[in-house]
Amino acid sequence: MKRVFLFLFLISSATLLSQTVLTSYAIDLKNKIDQSEIVTAENTVTHDVFVFAASADSLSILKYNSALFLRDKFVTNRQYTENRSLMGYSFSEDGNPTLYWFSKEEKTMILIKYYLENKTSRALKFQIPLDDKAILTHYQKDNNFYLLMQERTRDALTAFIFKNGMAQEKFLDFSSFKFIDRKTQPKTFTQILNENPIEKMDAGEYNPLYKVTAKSKIYTLPNRLILTLDHSFRKTQLFDIDLESLEIKEKTFIKPIGEKNPKTSNSYYHENKLYQLNVNADELLFDIKDYESGQSIKTFSVSKKDTIRFSNSPLLLQIENREPRKLKNTAKFLKELSALDGGVSVYKNEKNLFITFGGTGSSFNTISINAFNDPFGDFPSNNYYNIESNYSVFFESIWTKKLELTQETHEPFASDKIFYFLDTHKEAVLYNTLKLKNYTILNYYDIVAKQFVLRKFTDGFN
């Protein structure tokens, strides 16, 4: 399911969504789009920006400075990497990139370091232990490449850290910790993760509802991981993982409890605070806790008869990518949300803190037609509308960075504008994004102009 874009409900003119073309580079992929891919990356030390554009038979490496002027390029063949996908990248201390080419069939990665100064490369093969481990996620942090895996037969995770051409293996043992399910029955760490697969949260970016409703989430920090487990209505079980010392600290955060049992609950970690949500058809409970002390900083309780005073948007329901529709009142919202997988997402930009409350559901759910304001008669006139696709309910809350409520109205994020641009420009393919300090780059291939294009998008109305 594509992410919800509230701003499309609030604006009526695309002229408010301006963006800037930063640079372009002509190249012909010879109609082999399905065999091509593009990755954009920043060297976080030098702040150079790289574009890695792989076609069926060649690789183009474009190096831009921080002002996005092309400073160097390296075009080479795909020797050793045929039929492999580009999994990730890292940068060595000399500033040169290493790319990680993955083959699931061979269970290997080919690591190739590219030397732009003399246009040479060096390749190494890394055997991925897929027989006894499963890949959970991979990511870049501080110019290093991380591969996080789950052990198949042991209650543990393994992190491989690739730095300056070397791979470090970190075994993270969870066998000494206790886990129980919602029925208070004992479970192993492996069973918990098999029932609640881990979803990686993208640091510094808005993580949409379909990601944050996951019951197991991992947050990537420098030399550190935060793993949160929310399979219980009563608590968030959190593990603070030091990737250098391999020390794992467990923390337990009790969720806010109301008069009736919750139907859906979740949490979100953001900058040393834990945001917890518990919901049933009668009330919504929201708590912000200090990470170090575990003490509540802010607590809110909303009954179905109340107006949600920290809502800065309408209460909305959206089916797939159709235009969101208003829900009549809090009671309608809570009724719908309590039947879904609930979640909360927290995103900070230079101005404010944005908190999204909501939930997502799948095709087997049925929604009362009375939940919609339907002036156009788009929905059947019978009492219930049988959903055959994904849907969500949500609202947006805007806070100051000091956790004070505001009366501000929602403005589009850079990611919102990017989605709108891609939705209205079908010539843009092989796209990906790169978040920089105060703006986001969209990199894509224009199949009409036959060139790579880098566009700049910022938060807010332009």
Residue-by-residue DSSP string for 366-406 = EEEGGG---TT--S-SSSEEE--S-EEEEEEEEE-TTS-B-
| E strand map for 234-365 | 235-242, 248-254, 264-269, 273-279, 283-290, 296-303, 316-319, 325-326, 341-348, 353-361
Q: Where does the pLDDT of residue 66 fall: very low under 50, low under 70, confident under 90, or very high at 90 and above?
A: very high
Residue-wise pLDDT for 138-147, tens only, equals 999 999 999 9
Q: Supply the mean pLDDT for the chain.
A: 90
pLDDT for res 301: 97
Rounded Cα gap, residues 28 and 376, in angstroms: 46
Find the range with the poorest average confidence among 23-27, 52-56, 177-181, 201-205: 201-205
| Closest to 266 in 3D by CA, of 180, 140, 358, 146 | 358
Q: Tell me what percent of the residues of the chain surpass a pLDDT of 90.
A: 78
336: left (phi over 0), alpha (psi -120 to 50) or beta: alpha
What region does 80 belong to: left with phi over 0, alpha with psi -120 to 50, or beta?
A: left
pLDDT in tens, 360-418: 987 554 555 555 555 445 455 555 555 457 889 999 999 999 999 999 988 888 988 99
**pLDDT tens, position by position, 117-132:** 999 999 999 999 999 9
Cβ atoms < 10 Å from Cβ of 46: 13
Distance from chain centroid for Cα 106: 28
DSSP state of 94: T
Distance of CA 334 to the CA centre of its chain: 25
Q: What does the domain layout of the chain look like in residue ranges? A: 22-167+413-462
Looking at per-residue pLDDT, the higher value among 203 and 375 belongs to 203
- Contact present, 15 and 420 (Cβ < 8 Å): no
What's phi and psi for 330, nearest 5 deg?
A: -65, -40
pLDDT of residue 5 exceeding 80, the answer is no
CB atoms under 10 Å from CB of 65, counted, come to: 13
Beta bridge partners of 26: 451
Q: What pLDDT sits at residue 455?
A: 95
Mean pLDDT of 304-322: 92
Alpha-carbon 379 to chain mean position: 32
